[in-house]
Chain A
Amino acid sequence: MAAARSKKYARPVFIVDGSRTPFLKARGKPGPFKHAELGINAARPVLQRMPFSPEDFDEVIMGSTMPGPDEANIARLVALRLGCGDKVPAYTVHRNCASGMQALDSAAMSVASGRSDLVLAGGIEAMSRAPLLLHDKMVGWLAKWWGSKTFSAKMKTLSSFSPAMMTPVIALLKGLTDPVVGMNMGQTAEQIAYRFNITREMMDQFAVDSHLRLHQGHENGELSEIEPIYDSKGNLYDFDDGVRSDSTIEKLGKLRPAFDKPYGQVTPGNSAQITDGAAAMVIASEAAVKKFDLPVLARIVQTEWSALSPSEMGLGPAHSIAPLLKSQKLKLDDIDYWEINEAFAAQVLAVVAALKDKDYCKSHLGSRSAFGEIPHEKLNIHGGGVSLGHPVGASGARIVLHMAKILQQRDAKRGIASLCIGGGQGGAMLIERESN
């Protein structure tokens, strides 16, 4: 094994393998799989490939932002249902859109510190199953109703009822609105598009590319980490079903802005889809790799987290990539492939623009010169959130897993996976693969 070059991880951390479910577009009703089922389906195939038993894990860490009401600490639930046995501890992490990457970083920290040798980590989200909540007024009214003992008290309570109280609170929309700056995520994308002069055409072109690249990737079998899943009726799901192989700039051009109505540019077509999915990876120490003679897909070199104004959360990746490159003394060109989560086409384009903008690099990223331009052909080569969706807790794990697979497929050395995080943060992870 190569000696650790990471300054951040005290011991080397390896990605052994991983698999994920297809990402399934939400169709306006609860999807066919609950959070736990997605997590189990994501992890079972990779566990079948491993020479060790699920009971050999030291811990299980999952990222998830809104598991079902009966799925508290989803990581433990998944661990138990995967057959890890009673004795494997598990916890769930929440860093909004980066929860899946946070799970990997937590696993990496645990391995690097020597606490664990073998960790199952990943992310899970069934966004179609985000709950509808009762309005506070309705809850208050119900409390009053249950407290009304006599007939006359009941009548009195009844008279204070208004049907408007029954309007449900949509948890998903609440989750996608920043409570501090009062903007929804789409509006933050509009904000940075404005700042970097990203046009509607640029966004739509990026979205079309995303779909066509994903379609091509499916066709070429380059998304081998996807494992088929079956619902209770036996229906088979074996690819990311939000993909539109017939996407064109003309079609996307017809869509109306969804957030800054009516003059905005961010539309459902150039934003990430609402999607269900999960990914799971095996993270190991050098000792575990030796003990079980495990294959190594890549090494996690370093992870950087950064924060910025919630109103510009989409630029988070730039704020994490910059210190990551600096700390590793790498130039932008040293990176072979990039995965930047597509929360919004505008937002990814703004990140690319920021990193090549000398002024922005100087004033915000602490660099005397610009980092340069991430080449389009090295960025999200098999699509991203716009085409395959962004199940919030799962995406961070998906992009790292896919980056590891790309490095393997193309016999490349370095890749960075990065995403923006609602609430004004960014995360970036550098992984490296030993050349064959």
Chain B
Amino acid sequence: MNESIVDWITETDDQGVLWLTLDQQGTDTNVLSSSVLDQLNLLVDGIVKDIPKAVVICSGKTSGFIAGADVKEFLAVTNKQEAMIMIKRGQNVFSRIESLPCPTVAMIEGFCMGGGTELALACDYRVGLDSSSTKIGLPEVKLGIHPAFGGLVRSTSKINPMHSLEIMLSGRALAMKQAKAMGFVDLVQPKRQIRRAAQQIAFSKPERQSLPMLGKLLSLPGVRNLLSAYMKKQVAKKAAKQHYPAPYAILDVWCQYYGNKKRIMEEEANSVARLIQGDTVRNLIRVFFLQTQLKGLGDKKYFAPKHVHVIGAGVMGGDIAAWCALRGFTVTLQDREPKFLSKAMARAHKLYARRIKVLHERNAALDRLIPDCKGYGVEKADVVIEAIYENSEAKHEIYRDIEPRMKPDAVLATNTSSIPLEELAKALQEPERLVGIHFFNPVAMMPLVEIVKAKQSSRQMIDRAVAFTLHIGKLPLPVKSSPGFLVNRILMPYLVEAVFLHDEGIAPEAIDKAAVDFGMPMGPVELADTVGIDICHSVAKNLSAAYDISVPAGLEKYVDAKKLGKKTGSGFYQYKNGKAVKNRDADLGDQKMIQNRLIFRLLNEAAACLDEKIVDEVDLLDAGIIFGTGFAPFRGGPLNYSQQKGSETITGTMQEYGSQFGERFNPVKGWRLLKSE
């Protein structure tokens, strides 16, 4: 065919079916770059001239079908025209494929995301591989946009809008079973049958996927308004419009223009061209790349552990053990007596029931999680994680016991959040083997793990800890061993400020609203209640010894009164059925001032951490705070936010606050390391 076609392989089989295999050069993962789309366009030129019996589009990669559009290209877009050119390129090719006179099939093996799904929807039929790694989705909202290559239009016109809209709004990926039930794929077949299935469906030409009766009903003009209003309400519970406009835009485009095929295509493109220019998209793409950056900090091949031994079956230890077994590791879990394992085992059963839907896979995870009060696993483990209560003598005693029994090259890690590793390593013959692997609660939900590099930790052990973290599907962030490491240290002044505000008589509802409006996933007061006020108090006390953080009197008062938050049913809030009872009519006070006071403390501490080189660079710090605390992702991290906002502007206001509210607001010298955009 054409010399410029390097990423697509074409082959016509003896039945006259043309197989278009995407095997993008120089990468392990197919993405729909401009070049890949242009090449596809050229291929369609050829197909139109000489129509084959059928066309099957598939992937030459073992990793998956197509991961989506080329996100890097979004960042190069500077204005609406450029955005429209990019969008139209995709829309045009896909529309041409849709109108080919011969049957077209997308054969989906492995993940099929975003633009990949849009291409698949442009085909007459979609055949999915029956495997747990095959997933289909339209996750564009996660980057602040929505499908633009006709995906919004085609998904809502083939699949019940209840489902197709929900999939676009949530961005979640579907397993094949659900995908088939909803109509995203027509067939699900095992590897041994999938090629034949793709051929046969093209030849037998069954009726193509179209809206079911209910779907048609929901797409009627008036009904659309109702459904869209309802869905907006649902979205508002999770994402505020001013921070995340994309899901609202999806509903607007569908609601206003559905039924007018030409117009809605146009509006779909316009909407994304508008969205793509805002900071939100840039910052969310930044978050996407930060994730890749963290994953790139280590090499899974460097260390391939199989067995993890966890000592301490409390909430953290138990959940770490359950998570590692879920991720395929053999895990032995030790505590002083069998009874201390009960809660951990119950939580593991619950986690697996939620996460693993296939019974035999769930059993396999349970089989891998081995209660081991006698600590036999120490001798077999490649990674030993100590997660007992915070007491250095008790930890020393354990280290002295296990060190001689451990495999010579096994990693010894502690999940401590408050005891210096240098102090803990004193009990070891080989102190260089101790590193910190610091998880966050709840383990199954929090993507970040801090890898704490103590002064004596060996490079080799740190690299292994990073590789292990990648193996269990978490994001590793190497941090310097200093009190609070990165995440707790930056979070604590923000929480403490919330308690100061509360001590000053401001309603917790007002404090939490200010933070949530900024984009935090949960307000600081509710967070303190959720974590446990006693725990906050002990972390704050621990940090106050090292840094200039004073512990507010309010914290101690609640600890003394045993009002420890959610777990005791009462803290700053009262709890009913595990939910905070909030006063809707609370006086909101000066929201701007409250928000500034909370966020400034966090930013100031972030600048201090940058200055002290707790992590190596700005990006890593932002990544840590986003993935470790849920810090407003659309703001791209605290330092990114400071720079976008202008660090001088922020420090200027901070100085005013310093004279008004106390020295804690005086900008630290780390701010000089930040530039303004």
A: residues with CB less than 8 A from B are 40, 44-45, 48-49, 51, 81-83, 228-230, 232-236, 238
Could you tell me the distance between the alpha carbons of A235 and B338 in the complex, rounded to whole angstroms? 10
Contact partner of B346 (CB less than 8 A), chosen from A49, A229, A234, is A234
Residues of B within 8 A of A233 (CB): 346, 349
Determine if B341 and A44 form an interchain contact, defined as CB atoms under 8 angstroms apart: no
Select from chain B the residue with minimum beta-carbon distance to A83: B330
Q: Write the nearest CB–CB distance from A224 to chain B, whole angstroms.
A: 10
Kindly provide the distance from the CB of A372 to the nearest chain B CB, expressed in whole angstroms.
41
**Complex CA–CA separation, A186 to B376 (angstroms):** 43
* Residue B287, interface by CB 8 Å: no
Known: A48-B372, A234-B346. A81 touches B363 (CB 8 A): yes
- Asked if B341 and A48 make an inter-chain contact with CB atoms under 8 angstroms apart, the answer reads no
Interface size class of B (residues with CB under 8 A): 20 to 34
Which chain A residues lie closer than 8 Å to B330 at the CB level?
83
List of B residues within 8 angstroms of A232 by Cβ? 346, 349
Q: Are A228 and B373 in contact (CB under 8 A)?
A: yes
Q: B338 and A236: CB pair below 8 A? A: yes
Are B363 and A230 in contact, CB atoms less than 8 angstroms apart? no
Is the C-beta of B377 less than 8 angstroms from some C-beta in chain A?
Answer: yes
Q: Are A48 and B363 in contact (CB under 8 A)?
A: no
Question: A235 to B367, alpha carbons, bound, how many Å?
Answer: 17
Within 8 Å by CB of B349, from A81, A228, A234, lies A234
Residues in B lying within 8 Å of A, measured CB to CB: 330, 332, 338-339, 341-347, 349, 363-364, 367-368, 370-374, 376-377, 379-380
A83: chain B residues within 8 A (beta carbon): 330, 367-368
Count how many pairs of residues, one from A and one from B, have CB atoms less than 8 Å apart in the complex: 50
The answer on a CB contact under 8 Å between A49 and B349 is: no
Partner of A230, one of B341, B376, B379: B341
Residue of B nearest to A229 (CB): B371
A51: chain B residues at CB < 8 Å are 379
Contact A228 B371 (CB under 8 A): yes
Task: Give the residue among B344, B374, B377 with the most A Cβ atoms within 10 A.
Answer: B374
For B380, list chain A residues within 8 Å (CB).
Answer: 48
Extra inter-chain contacts (13) besides given A45-B376, A233-B349, CB under 8 Å: A45-B372, A45-B374, A48-B376, A48-B380, A83-B367, A228-B338, A230-B341, A230-B345, A230-B346, A230-B371, A234-B343, A234-B344, A234-B346
Measured CB to CB, the closest approach of chain A to B378, in angstroms, equals: 10
Across the A-B interface, give the 6 residue pairs with the lowest CB-CB distance, nearest first.
A234-B346, A48-B376, A228-B338, A230-B345, A234-B342, A234-B345
Which of B364, B371, B373, B374: most chain A Cβ within 10 A?
B371
A236→B342 contact, CB < 8 A: yes
Q: Which residue of B lies closest to A53 (CB)?
A: B380
Given contacts A45-B372, A82-B367, contact A236 B346 (CB under 8 A): no
Distance of A297 Cα from B610 Cα, bound (Å): 60
Contacts of A236 in B (CB 8 A): 338-339, 341-342
B338 touches A238 (CB 8 A): yes
Q: Find A48's partner among B344, B346, B370 (CB 8 Å cutoff).
A: B370
Residue numbers in B under 8 Å from A234 (CB-CB): 341-347, 349
Contact of A81 among B346, B364, B377, B379 (CB under 8 A): B364
B350 to chain A, nearest CB (A): 9
Q: Which residues of B contact A45 (CB under 8 A)?
A: 370, 372, 374, 376
**Contact A49:B367 (CB < 8 A) given known A230-B342, A230-B345, A234-B349:** no
The residues of B that contact A228 with a CB separation of less than 8 Å are 338, 341, 371, 373
| Contact assessment for A81 and B367 in the assembled complex, using a CB-CB cutoff below 8 Å | yes
